[in-house]
Structure 1
Amino acid sequence: MHRHELSDQEWELLAPLIPQAATGRPRVSDRQIINGMVYRIRTGISWRDLPERFGPWKTVYTRFRRYALGGVFTRALQRIQAAADAAGDIDWLVQIDSTIVRAHQHAAATGRKGGCISRTNRNDHALGRSRGGLTTKVHLACDGKGRPLAILVTPGQRHDSICTRPLLERIRVPRPGPGRPRCRPDQVMADKAYSSRGFRAYLRKRGIGHVIPEKNDQQRHRHNRGRHGGRPPGFDREAYRRRNMIERCFNRLKGFRSIATRYEKTAISYEAAVTLVSFLLWARSV
């Protein structure tokens, strides 16, 4: 096994989910192709610069796009999450946060094909324009052990509070037997960016506890209203000390250079790369 390639344990977890062609000419080994994908995401090189030991670079890229569009990596991530949940290995104190990723000029080329990127352009491929240029924001929900449960990719200028509900609704851990997937955490932990009455009401409606500090201006507004301001929301300061787990998760994700800097032109490809890395983080923790 070379550097930045799948171990035997990781390949055993992923191999059953790789689509197999029933007919056609003999194809390059699936493990060889997946190793090429992981190597490229880890090092951040161009697809054309892949070493020859992974086979033709076009084959690696074509299968990556096919697996991304087919949701292969998403199913792999859900399967390993289901196995961990069946073993009682998931800590359902879910933490949510987001991180900004700078888009490389190769990724920014997509915006010019469909016109300028603006609020009215829906086909923005999760690229948003800010002072620093084009950026993408990765919203993440992880368990209490710092392993990804759900991923959402949006333009960089999108506010965190807007994406909380879509992010939590992406948590779907299948059951080992019959029954619906588990979608509801025991508690949600987040920073002050997610402190809003609407989000707290949404969590109460779903029966989910929360550990979210209150913003200073919200405290002043509540105090100024006197007895009509209501009680302060509950906040467990001791439990909040564990919020660094999601920062550690981001740190491990961005250890892969194609995640720390976005080179993919489409949002589907970039989200597939984040999902594949999330699967690897789970595989290395079980």
Structure 2
Amino acid sequence: MARRRYELTDREWAIIEPLLPNKPRGVARVDDRRVLNGIMWRFRTGATWAEVPERYGPSTTCYNRFVRWRKAGVWDRLLAAVSAGYDGDLVMIDSTCMRVHQNGATGKKGEVGDRGMGRSRGGLTSKLHALVDAHGRPVSLRLTGGQVHDACEAEALIKAIPEGATLLGDKGYDSNAIRDAAAARNVWANIPNRSNRKQRFAFSPWLYKQRNLVERFFNRIKQFRGIATRYDKDPANFLAAIKLICARIWCAA
């Protein structure tokens, strides 16, 4: 059977396979590559888990392994491993909103917290805050409700920037707190000054043109319908799916 475009290539699988949990004893589990392709199919199409085709194995196996490995931190370690040698000289920061589907908006009875959802101009949305490198590859990610201002998550993302780097961000990141956090790591924040700012900072319009790479990153992950629209009730599952897709972006680079 011919490989479908959303399935892992041989090169991608060669990178990912050694980073997955190794279970030498016990009952043999369903083929990892087959299950991963099923997980990718689910998020690529935005379908429910029950609709995962039989060629990928039982749909319950795809769901259970995705959640079990998320709880075990497998997807976090996978992204960290493939992105360990990223180009940190130039990094870009930005955010994007994903609409929350009605099926993902309902929570369990008695559940507290915003579950990474909030009201914004687009209705009920989640917001992904991202830091990408000079090749548009994701380095650090954070998920919040759609109403959360970009600057609120910037300082946490800045911690992932190596010293001496250059940070590109739009005017939404022009605050003294963000500039101070960047300066503390010897990072130059190339951010345009707000019109009402009294203290002006050096800014390079030529370098700022590279910021479109973070927009391209958002466009890439939103080709997956299960990411462009959030169907998952659990924010941890939704962020884990994004990290898995981001790991694949690194493998394909």
* Segment drifting more, 41-50 vs 73-82: 73-82
Q: Which amino acid aligns with 1:52?
A: E
Give the corresponding residue for 1:105. 102
Give the corresponding residue for 1:198. 177
- Asked if residue 189 in structure 1 is aligned to residue 171 in structure 2, the reply is no
Q: Deviations over 1:156-213 (max 9, x none)?
A: 10001111011223x3xxxxxxxxxx74460110000000111111211221111100
- Asked if residue 210 in structure 1 is aligned to residue 189 in structure 2, the reply is yes
- For normalisation by structure 1, the TM-score amounts to 0.83
> For 1:93, which of 86, 90, 94 is the aligned residue?
90
1:58 shift after superposition: 0.6
Structure 1, unaligned runs of 5 or more: 116-120, 172-181, 223-229
> For 2:125, which of 98, 112, 135 is the aligned residue?
135
**Contact 1:126–1:154 under 8 Å retained in 2:** yes
Q: Which amino acid aligns with 1:125?
A: R
- Secondary structure of residue in 2 paired with 1:96: strand
Q: 1:1-286 residue pairs with structure 2 within 5 A?
A: 1-82=3-84, 84-85=85-86, 90-110=87-107, 113-114=109-110, 121=112, 123-169=113-159, 171=160, 183-184=162-163, 186-218=165-197, 222=198, 230=199, 232-285=200-253
**Contact 2:164–2:186 under 8 Å retained in 1:** no
CA distance in 2 between counterparts of 1:37 and 1:185 reads 38
CA distance in 1 between counterparts of 2:124 and 2:151 reads 21
CA distance in 2 between counterparts of 1:208 and 1:78 reads 22
1:281 shift after superposition: 0.9
1:114 shift after superposition: 3.2
- Secondary structure of residue in 1 paired with 2:192: coil
CA distance in 2 between counterparts of 1:132 and 1:247 reads 19
**Contact 2:90–2:165 under 8 Å retained in 1:** yes
1:41 shift after superposition: 1.1
CA distance in 1 between counterparts of 2:163 and 2:243 reads 20
CA distance in 1 between counterparts of 2:164 and 2:8 reads 31
Moved over 2 A (4+): 20-26, 112-115, 129-133, 182-185
- Percentage of identical aligned residues: 39
**Contact 1:195–1:214 under 8 Å retained in 2:** yes
**Contact 2:103–2:231 under 8 Å retained in 1:** yes
**Contact 2:158–2:182 under 8 Å retained in 1:** no
1:133 shift after superposition: 2.8
Structure 2, unaligned runs of 5 or more: none
Q: Which amino acid aligns with 1:238?
A: W
